[in-house]
Amino acid sequence: MRILITGAASGIAYLTALTLAERDHEVYLTCHSEKQAETVKQKVKDYKNIKVMKIDITKQEDRKRVLDLNVDVLYNHAGIGLGGSIIEADMDKVRENFEVNVFSSFRLLQLVLRQMVEKDKGRIVVMSSLADTFPIAFAGVYSATKASITMIIKSLQKELFLMATNVKVTLIEPGLYHTGFNEVFLDNKYDDGKYFSDIKKELYNVEHFLFKLFEKKKLDSIVVKIVRAVEDEKPKSVYKAPLSQALLARLYSIFKA
């Protein structure tokens, strides 16, 4: 299959690209910038079935380039994280977070989905997060973007069922994995504003400890789920990992006030 993966310069999406290439798929590994793409090209030069491209999903001209590839699978992974309190959030950064994680992801999905519906075949895999379930202080904006894309995809799944199309759409909801994303997110999470300045350091230290305690060092458990979403004849509507964190999210959704 021809598979396009957005935001795959590193982490989960990068390892997924390598795994799918090793399983004899033709992979279009895309990065946000030309600089990232050049770096990744050197890293994957021994993979003959990986083509590295610069695709900035916020740019209309880049999104349209995807249509020329006529892919069988789109794995929509690209996203960014904005930390900070709701009361002091920079609205420009809030808009940027929604633009990347929701609106641009949505626009790309629409373009590829319409092409797939016309062919009556294809698959779209969308990265969300277990953060769409938990309300977390100082992560409200990021969690809201993930909750938004999750609800869009769940609604889309019902629409596709009514259409009786062979196109499948699947959600991926990972928990905490050691990719570097969480560390960057934590470093910019607490504001320099006046409302939480007296407890900021304490909050940072506690969360840094919790990340180190609960982050999964190996990415295999989530990559396996993504590969299943791509390859299984009848994929699930949603895949979650790691199991322990997925169970905690399930318990929370049942017993929350």
State pLDDT tens for residues 39-56.
999 999 999 999 999 999
- When pLDDT is cut at 50, 70 and 90, the band that residue 152 belongs to is very high
Which two tokens mark 13? 């999406």
State pLDDT tens for residues 73-129.
999 999 998 888 888 888 999 999 999 999 999 999 999 999 999 999 999 999 999
The Cα–Cα gap between 56 and 165 comes to: 29
pTM of the predicted protein model: 0.93
Where b means 16+ CB within 10 Å and e means fewer, 98-122 reads bbbbbbbbbebbebbbebbeeeeeb
- Give residue 173's identity as a one-letter amino acid code: E
The Cα–Cα gap between 17 and 198 comes to: 44
Looking from the CA of 121 toward its CB, the CA atoms found within 13 Å total 7
Mean pLDDT of the chain: 92
The Cα–Cα gap between 20 and 24 comes to: 7
pLDDT at site 184: 73
Q: Nearest 5°: CA angle at 4, between 97 and 239?
A: 70
The Cα–Cα gap between 218 and 241 comes to: 12
- When pLDDT is cut at 50, 70 and 90, the band that residue 192 belongs to is low
Q: What is the mean pLDDT of residues 42-71?
A: 96
Where b means 16+ CB within 10 Å and e means fewer, 158-178 reads eebeeeebebbbbbbbbbbbb
pLDDT at site 137: 82
The Cα–Cα gap between 54 and 50 comes to: 13
CATH of 2-255, one of 3.40.50.720, 3.40.109.10, 3.20.20.210, 3.10.105.10: 3.40.50.720
